[in-house]
């Protein structure tokens, strides 16, 4: 996800009206006894969206068409704002530096990767966050916020790098709060719009799929 990814965001007004969410791949085998054997084929969930629901006007359709052409269909990835899941905490609250645990200091490690945890306990799901929103990331060590120049955040990778004189000490809790986008691509190389149907209220289907880091 480097030269094949454009660090631009899908039109926000369209994205905020879109639909979608996480998808998992579970294999289920029903035994002769009627019992089930279930196996998760994917370690990570993958998000799918339909941006077509957010297109309400011809101007919005024109903007998405231009965006699609610039990305060359499925060729280049881009950022997408998930309205219900774009912050380290609840969507209604600004990020706090203690929202998510991203590591534990050992006195030597300077680089930590942003992540978001869903649920609690041993079955909690840890999701890598590779596309934080620039300027939104707040980091703390043992609850005390750390800011530049003591650390730097790469919005293209989600990596937090501490300065040499600010390395988290042994056993210190490293936490972060942030806003983030989902790295996605178009899941089609063809956009077909029936203008007669569109003006009558029918929305086009514009599938997007998450690019896993």
- On whether both 3 and 76 belong to a single domain, the answer is yes
Dihedral angle of Cα 131, 137, 139, 143, to the nearest 10 degrees: -120
Question: What total number of domains does the chain contain?
Answer: 2
- On whether both 1 and 31 belong to a single domain, the answer is yes
First vs last Cα of the chain: how many Å apart? 7
Mean pLDDT of 1-24: 89
- On whether both 121 and 172 belong to a single domain, the answer is yes
In the chain, % of residues over pLDDT 90: 76
Would you report the helix, strand and coil content of the chain in percent, each value rounded to 5?
Answer: 15, 35, 50
- On whether both 198 and 144 belong to a single domain, the answer is no
- On whether both 72 and 134 belong to a single domain, the answer is no
Mean pLDDT of 81-104: 96
- The model carries a pTM of 0.91
- On whether both 132 and 175 belong to a single domain, the answer is yes
Least confident range of 52-66, 130-144, 157-171: 52-66
Cα–Cα distance measured from residue 22 to residue 101, given in angstroms and rounded to the nearest whole number: 22
In which band, very low, low, confident or very high, does the pLDDT at 42 lie, cut at 50, 70 and 90? confident
In which band, very low, low, confident or very high, does the pLDDT at 193 lie, cut at 50, 70 and 90? confident
Mean pLDDT of 146-154: 96
The three-state DSSP-derived secondary structure of 134-193 is CCCCEEEECCEEECCCCEEEECCCCEEEECHHHCCCCCCEEEEECEECEEEEECCCCCCC
pLDDT for res 40? 86
Burial 32-49 (b: 16+ CB within 10 A, else e): eeeeeeeeeeeeebebbb
Question: Which helix or strand (DSSP H or E) is residue 116 part of?
Answer: strand 115-118
- On whether both 203 and 131 belong to a single domain, the answer is no
Least confident range of 44-48, 95-99, 151-155, 199-203: 199-203
pLDDT for res 147? 93
- On whether both 11 and 74 belong to a single domain, the answer is yes
Residue 71 has pLDDT above 60, yes or no: yes
- On whether both 3 and 75 belong to a single domain, the answer is yes
- On whether both 78 and 98 belong to a single domain, the answer is no
In which band, very low, low, confident or very high, does the pLDDT at 74 lie, cut at 50, 70 and 90? very high
Structural domain span for residue 133: 88-180
- On whether both 120 and 132 belong to a single domain, the answer is yes
- On whether both 61 and 134 belong to a single domain, the answer is no
């Amino acid at each position: 996800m480097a030269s094949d990814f454009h660090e631009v965001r899908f039109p926000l007004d369209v994205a905020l009206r879109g639909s979608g969410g996480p998808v998992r791949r579970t294999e289920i085998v029903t035994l002769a006894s009627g019992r089930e054997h279930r196996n998760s084929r994917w370690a990570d969930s993958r998000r799918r969206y339909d941006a077509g629901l957010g297109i309400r006007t011809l101007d919005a359709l024109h903007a998405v068409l231009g965006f699609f052409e610039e990305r060359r269909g499925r060729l280049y990835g881009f950022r997408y704002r998930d309205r219900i899941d774009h912050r380290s905490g609840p969507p209604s609250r600004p990020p706090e530096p203690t929202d998510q645990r991203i590591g534990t200091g050992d006195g030597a490690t300077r680089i930590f990767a942003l992540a978001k945890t869903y649920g609690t306990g041993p079955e909690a799901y840890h999701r890598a966050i590779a596309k934080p929103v620039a300027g939104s990331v707040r980091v703390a060590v043992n609850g005390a916020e750390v800011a530049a120049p003591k650390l730097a955040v790469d919005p293209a990778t989600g990596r937090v790098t501490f300065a040499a004189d600010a390395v988290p000490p042994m056993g210190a809790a490293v936490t972060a709060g942030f806003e983030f986008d989902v790295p996605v691509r178009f899941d089609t190389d063809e956009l077909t719009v029936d203008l007669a149907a569109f003006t009558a209220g029918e929305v086009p289907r514009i599938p997007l799929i998450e690019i896993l880091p």
